[in-house]
Amino acid sequence: MDKYGKFCWTKKLGDMHLSGKNITLCGKPMLGNNYSDIRKDVPMCKECESQANREIVRDAVKEAEMTVEQAVTKFHWCCAAIVKEAYINNAKALNYCGPYAKLGLTFDSIALVKAQVPYVLDNMTHWRGDLAKKVRKYLKEVTHALRNY
């Protein structure tokens, strides 16, 4: 296994490849002996590597893909998290963001939610920590999900 979680395929000579099903990601047949356990410090085939990276991006996009209803729900979740931090935990970094999030919680229309996301994001730039990271990630997914509306 390599850093992409894929089976490695290395011939006696040449680069290390990554396995698809019966062929390498770059399209070479996987015939004969595999030397990946012996030839460990071999550079990775560029085509296999870029193919593996494309798969990662594809999976990430698929994961972020959601219905409009899910996007609105996710937006409300973010607003609720911000409201809680701003008004219950008194996070100073959310002084300006709090009211935008509070208002956002009342929005059910896609157009209003879509319009509100940038205000929320723009006013939480000083907010730090794991929750902040998560909310930022979710709001970007919401933006992506609502891009065509």
Question: SS3 of 44, please?
Answer: strand
The verdict on 48 binding Zn ion (CB under 5 A) reads yes
Is residue 45 a contact residue for Zn ion (CB under 5 A)?
A: yes
Which of 4, 19, 26, 30 is the binder for Zn ion (CB under 5 A)? Answer: 26
38 vs 61, which CB is nearer to Zn ion? 38
Cβ at position 47, least distance to Zn ion in Å: 5
Q: Could you give the C-alpha distances from 69 to 11, 16, 76, 130, in angstroms and in order? A: 50, 45, 11, 25
DSSP letter (8 states) at residue 9: E
The crossing angle, in degrees rounded to 10, of helices 68-83 and 97-104 is 140
User: Do residues 25 and 19 lie in contact, with contact meaning Cβ atoms separated by under 8 Å?
Assistant: yes
Among 10, 24, 116, 123, binds Zn ion (CB under 5 A): 24
Instruction: Please identify, using beta-carbon distances, which residue of 48 and 97 lies nearer to Zn ion.
Output: 48
| Nearest-angstrom CA–CA distance, 121 and 144 | 14
* Least Å from the CB of residue 59 to Zn ion: 20
**Is residue 10 within the footprint of Zn ion (CB under 5 A)?**
no
* Cβ closest to Zn ion, residue 45 vs residue 132: 45
Q: Does 17 bind Zn ion (CB under 5 A)?
A: yes
Rounded-to-integer distance, Cα 92 and Cα 133, Å: 17
Contacts with Zn ion, residue ranges (CB under 5 A)? 17, 24, 26, 45, 47-48
